Amino acid sequence: MTSVSPTDPKYASRKRQQELLSKYLSVRSFTNRIVAPLEPEDCVIQSMLNVSPTRWHLAHTTWFFETFVLKSAPEFRAYNARFEYLFNSYYNSVGQQYPRAQRGMLSRPTVAEVLDYRRAIDEQMIARLESAKRLTDQELDVVELGMNHEQQHQELMLTDIKHVLSRNPLTPHYSSDELQVDSHRLTSSWLDFEEGVYEIGHCGDVFAFDNESPRHRVFLESFSLCSQTVTVGEYLEFINDGGYERSELWLSLGWHQVQTHGWQGPLYWQQKDGVWTEFTLSGQVDLQPSLPVCHVSYFEADAFARWAGARLATEAEWEVASEDTPEEGNFATSLMDSGAAIHPNDNASTTSDLRHLYGNVWEWTSSSYAPYPGYEAPAGALGEYNGKFMCNQYVLRGGSCATPVGHVRRTYRNFFPPESRWQFSGVRLAR
């Protein structure tokens, strides 16, 4: 056995390895915190194709570390040979995948068995990261990717379980934490930005996904961005003005959705005897006009903007405009810490001109999700992470109340098909 030279440039500094260990423990522990309120029965339901059972998320995020970090070691032995198939999401390079549409057909492994699996992989990961045998920078990059990957699934666990619980006529709720509604609501205003050639995309040393690179130039005409996101009250005006009955406000595909699915408001909104309520992770509550509207599709965001005489921003505009705004806001971690419901709120703590740019709700942009000029997917299985999804999806920016703190950044590109509504997605107007 050769001893590792601490000065070999391909090996990471001891410091980075220690920092990642610490962050690893923190990320994994937050996942446990998310699932703590759930019953085993909650964790196996797939309430629609896009939703995965909680148990699947718990296993898949663990599978990621086992497959992409631990598997390459010569002494590796699979925890359970069938898991490679069962918990592979979409990595064709790794092998066949258990069909996504059938994730709700599996009662085993039980939640308890999956938690055992998590603990076993954690032990191996910790041993690896604590080991005197240093990992290469490339290996640590994969560990870091795995942690960011798990954070993405933390958000999905919250949005997926919300969907699962919402389907139940008993309207069970995830937690009893209450929504926060602030009485001092600021009025919105328009912020102006000048035309010019700008640079967007990832730069610097912090972690970023491949789809944020390369940094490149774009030409922007002058534009304005609204100081805050659209509120529930404003959205109700749209509805009351016949928003869901006027085809001229909608993209053709959006109108088709409205007609086919009978949309009459955002997902989780319900009107009964003239009273609007909303299903939240803290149960069924009355609509709060001052809160940001969320759970709208791209189609609804676009139709609302057209109704309001405005439009959605492009992702380049959003990124250019965000330059001076600190990456702070209502994220899942702080909401949980403060005993507040996982839901957007309207606290006025932020002093930025662009209020709640981060956290609260993801903001739909008008940009189709596409590779940046010069983008190349990484080699191997991890090249399947982002690039192959660059078609028929739209970019969202800024993170939401279900995003763990520290996960998003200015250049972060989230993306969903235009009909998706089960994420905490909202609207910021541009013109």
Can you give the binding site for its own copies, defined by CB under 8 A? 39-45, 47, 55, 82, 85-86, 90, 92-93, 98, 102, 104-111, 164-165, 167-170, 172, 197, 216-219, 221, 247-248, 250-255, 298-299, 366, 368, 370-371, 373-374, 383-384, 388-392, 418
Of 170 and 206, which has the nearer Cβ to its own copies?
Answer: 170
Which DSSP helix (H) or strand (E) runs through 312?
A: strand 311-312
Please name the amino acid found at residue 189. Answer: S
Contact 282, 176 (CB under 8 A): yes
SS (H, E, C) 257-300: HHHHHCCCCCCCEEEECCEEEEEECCEEEECCCCCECCCCCHHH
**54-65 vs 111-130: helix axis angle to the nearest 10?**
20
Minimum gap (Å) between residue 310 Cβ and its own copies? 12
Contact 94, 84 (CB under 8 A): yes
Of 207 and 375, which has the nearer Cβ to its own copies?
Answer: 375
Minimum gap (Å) between residue 102 Cβ and its own copies? 7
Minimum gap (Å) between residue 224 Cβ and its own copies? 13
Of 245 and 337, which has the nearer Cβ to its own copies?
Answer: 245
Minimum gap (Å) between residue 50 Cβ and its own copies? 14
Minimum gap (Å) between residue 424 Cβ and its own copies? 21
Minimum gap (Å) between residue 405 Cβ and its own copies? 28
Contact 191, 318 (CB under 8 A): no
In terms of Cβ atoms closer than 10 Å to its own Cβ (0-12, 13-18, 19+), residue 194 is: exposed
Of 23 and 216, which has the nearer Cβ to its own copies?
Answer: 216
Of 33 and 100, which has the nearer Cβ to its own copies?
Answer: 100
Query: What is the strand order of the sheet 190-193 is part of?
Result: 190-193, 223-226, 429-430, 311-312
Residues in the chain: 431
Minimum gap (Å) between residue 216 Cβ and its own copies? 7
CA Rg value for the chain: 22
Measured CA distances, 211 to 194, 208, 375, 412 (Å)? 26, 8, 7, 8
Of 109 and 243, which has the nearer Cβ to its own copies?
Answer: 109
Minimum gap (Å) between residue 285 Cβ and its own copies? 19
Of 11 and 68, which has the nearer Cβ to its own copies?
Answer: 68
Look at phi and psi of residue 79 and say left if phi exceeds 0, alpha if psi is from -120 to 50, else beta. alpha
Of 276 and 375, which has the nearer Cβ to its own copies?
Answer: 375
Strands (E) located in 127-195: 190-193
Residue for token pair 């989230």 = 414
Minimum gap (Å) between residue 371 Cβ and its own copies? 8
Of 109 and 265, which has the nearer Cβ to its own copies?
Answer: 109
Q: DSSP string of 167-200?
A: TSTT---S--PBPP--S-PPPP-EEEE--EEEEE
Q: Quote the tokens at residue 79.
A: 């925890």
